[in-house]
A and B are shown apart, each in its own frame.
Chain A
């Protein structure tokens, strides 16, 4: 029974990390409909930036995070204006191919520049264990869960209550109407992509401080993030959280009671079942076009 609690606690923690690493994709894939296969690479770049700022430059975690957000936000903005914008509204294919190209380029260029060794990101807190009854956690993990909740809340508030957020919602509901209403949709798209990139990169840096990171960390992250977004429903933050938690707990239980070697399979099985029985996810706020 103690094992069950620990499995569920593990699942909730890793699930909130999945949610965190999928948040950026919720915006980029869920709202913008860019099937972004470079998502994991944005996450990886966040980790690399974290390593660069904390371990190489010696900044503390929060200064490093601020710098990472700044740099990656700019990167996301430019990536949208120079790349994604040119394939907007052309269906999935060009954007998939473009982001695959981008992910190959980013992974291998990062490999050239920082090498293949694992990279350490200095965390804001020590990784000392915390015992809650039979359940073991660490301070850093609790911090990460809290940060995850804060980021999700912040992103939610931005979209709900700011001018930009309103413009985003208008644009993704009907871009034409939004343009007619005087919204600069190109800027909205770029801001959304930048915001998604920032979320992915912050996740990469935060989780890098817990696990350490390396330049080929991206591939697996992309796949899991797609699972979470599909499961939660396109474009829904609440969905991403629930999707992440379900994936985390399902993996923990599968790993705990079946085998850890096959644990990745559960995510894909969930995706297949979700898409068969509830194709628009658990929390989709959007009605499928067409």
Chain B
């Protein structure tokens, strides 16, 4: 019986492996959480990455070789992600690394990448300090909490006419970082803080939190939570009869989120770097290919995985070689037309040039309210200096 269930899984695993094991491939390692509590998002990222590689290989690969994507489960744990990185670098001899998802795991892999001189790109980790560590092997093709906060705070404060906002975040590095960033940015736009609270990942009952929210006198509530926690929280906000503007960050602009949240999702705002119904031919093609492969539209993590792999493969193609220095050069010169904008990197390896979208969920659809772009943060500083 057990064999019966597992047989197709083993078969697909083996098929995947043998297909990729064509001779003389170019190997790229991807570390994502595929088990554990953030596996949902890690899997989406890995799906996006697989699609990017499949497309590239169909078009002749990179430097004339087929790309072999080796995905390892880091479980978002620093130690396991380091194990995965050591394995990818030392045993599989990958040319470059992508991933680690959680900032804590990325932070632990960064010194490994530096020690072995392997270019390392994160498409998700949002802790601002990662690109401030002076690690020349590290690049990030994702918005930081701070950049997202900067980009949206004015827009939110004006559009929603906010006076006083309550902040609720998941109690991890990302949740705390996002709450901090939005709080300081919104305060700078004259919005008062009604309350700041965190909840633990996997919490199911938010009524206590909502009781405090109801009597906090806020006219809007900012939420930093991923699909599972976020949908439960949003549902309970509506059940509780709280009539406030709900806006937040997290993978909310997806069909999964809307299905699971149901009517309660009506009218909420989400600030995301990617949404499937953005304009542009590039995006339409990506959404179509992704939906063909996985039967649902891509969310922000699928796009992150897709983009980060494309950026890495572009960089290697541009470098014309697979040694670390060449790839680093290639990454620095990145100018990648993504479904959601044009990615480039600052001298510290922070990505910019891509879009950020504010969406509102309405009748089960995702309406784009506003689009803004992450500008070169270093250019800003130079301008200020002049």
Residues of A within 8 A of B199 (CB): 260-261, 263
Report which of B203, B207, B240 forms a contact with A13, defined as CB distance below 8 A. B207
Report which of B37, B40, B228 forms a contact with A212, defined as CB distance below 8 A. B228
Residues of B within 8 A of A3 (CB): 211-212, 215
Residues of A within 8 A of B9 (CB): 112
- Assuming the contacts A115-B43, A214-B40, asked whether A136 and B240 have C-beta atoms less than 8 A apart, the reply is yes
Closest chain B residue to A254, Cβ basis = B208
Interface 9-residue window, one of B22-30, B231-239, B350-358: B231-239
Residues A115-136 near B (CB distance < 8 A)? 115-118, 120, 127-129, 131, 136
Answer yes or no: A113 CB below 8 A from chain B CBs: yes
Closest chain A residue to B256, Cβ basis = A117
Against B, the Cβ 8 Å flags (1 = close, 0 = not) of A195-214 are 00000000000010001101
Minimum CB–CB distance for A205 against chain B, Å: 14
Residues of A within 8 A of B198 (CB): 259-261
For chain B, the count of residues having a C-beta within 8 Å of the partner chain is 34
For chain A, the count of residues having a C-beta within 8 Å of the partner chain is 43
Closest chain B residue to A119, Cβ basis = B260
In the complex, are the beta carbons of B171 and A117 less than 8 A apart? no
Minimum CB–CB distance for B201 against chain A, Å: 9
In the complex, are the beta carbons of B35 and A111 less than 8 A apart? yes
Minimum CB–CB distance for A251 against chain B, Å: 7
Residues B22-62 near A (CB distance < 8 A)? 35-37, 39-40, 43
In the complex, are the beta carbons of A14 and B205 less than 8 A apart? yes
Known: A256-B208, A264-B200. 12 other contacts (CB 8 A): A7-B208, A109-B5, A116-B43, A117-B256, A136-B207, A136-B239, A136-B241, A207-B204, A212-B260, A252-B208, A260-B198, A263-B200
In the complex, are the beta carbons of A6 and B211 less than 8 A apart? yes
Closest chain B residue to A13, Cβ basis = B207
Closest chain B residue to A128, Cβ basis = B239
In the complex, are the beta carbons of A10 and B208 less than 8 A apart? yes
Residues of B within 8 A of A128 (CB): 239
Minimum CB–CB distance for A74 against chain B, Å: 13
Residues of B within 8 A of A (CB): 5, 9, 35-37, 39-40, 43, 171, 197-200, 202-205, 207-209, 211-212, 215, 227-228, 231-232, 235, 239-241, 256, 259-260
Q: How far is the CA of A143 from the CA of B209 in the complex (A)?
A: 22
Which among A7, A112, A211, A219 has the greatest number of chain B C-beta atoms within 10 A? Answer: A211
Residues of A within 8 A of B231 (CB): 118, 212
Report which of A129, A214, A217 forms a contact with B240, defined as CB distance below 8 A. A129
Residues A179-232 near B (CB distance < 8 A)? 207, 211-212, 214, 216-217, 219-220
Residues of B within 8 A of A2 (CB): 215
Residues of B within 8 A of A127 (CB): 235, 239
Q: How far is the CA of A216 from the CA of B39 in the complex (A)?
A: 9
21 interchain pairs (CB within 8 A)?
A2-B215, A10-B205, A10-B208, A10-B211, A13-B207, A109-B5, A112-B9, A117-B40, A117-B227, A118-B40, A120-B259, A120-B260, A129-B239, A136-B239, A214-B40, A217-B202, A256-B211, A260-B209, A261-B200, A263-B199, A264-B200
Dominant secondary structure at the A interface? helix
Against B, the Cβ 8 Å flags (1 = close, 0 = not) of A87-123 are 0000000000000000000011101110111101000
Minimum CB–CB distance for B199 against chain A, Å: 5
Residues A1-37 near B (CB distance < 8 A)? 2-3, 6-7, 10-11, 13-14, 17
Q: How far is the CA of A214 from the CA of B240 in the complex (A)?
A: 23
Answer yes or no: A165 CB below 8 A from chain B CBs: no
In the complex, are the beta carbons of A138 and B239 less than 8 A apart? yes
In the complex, are the beta carbons of B212 and A256 less than 8 A apart? yes
Top 9 closest A-B pairs, CB basis? A261-B198, A116-B40, A10-B207, A255-B208, A211-B204, A116-B39, A6-B211, A14-B205, A261-B171
Q: How far is the CA of A127 from the CA of B43 in the complex (A)?
A: 31
In the complex, are the beta carbons of A7 and B211 less than 8 A apart? yes
Residues of B within 8 A of A263 (CB): 199-200, 203, 208
Which among A2, A11, A120, A251 has the greatest number of chain B C-beta atoms within 10 A? Answer: A120
Residues of A within 8 A of B204 (CB): 207, 211
Q: How far is the CA of A2 from the CA of B12 in the complex (A)?
A: 57
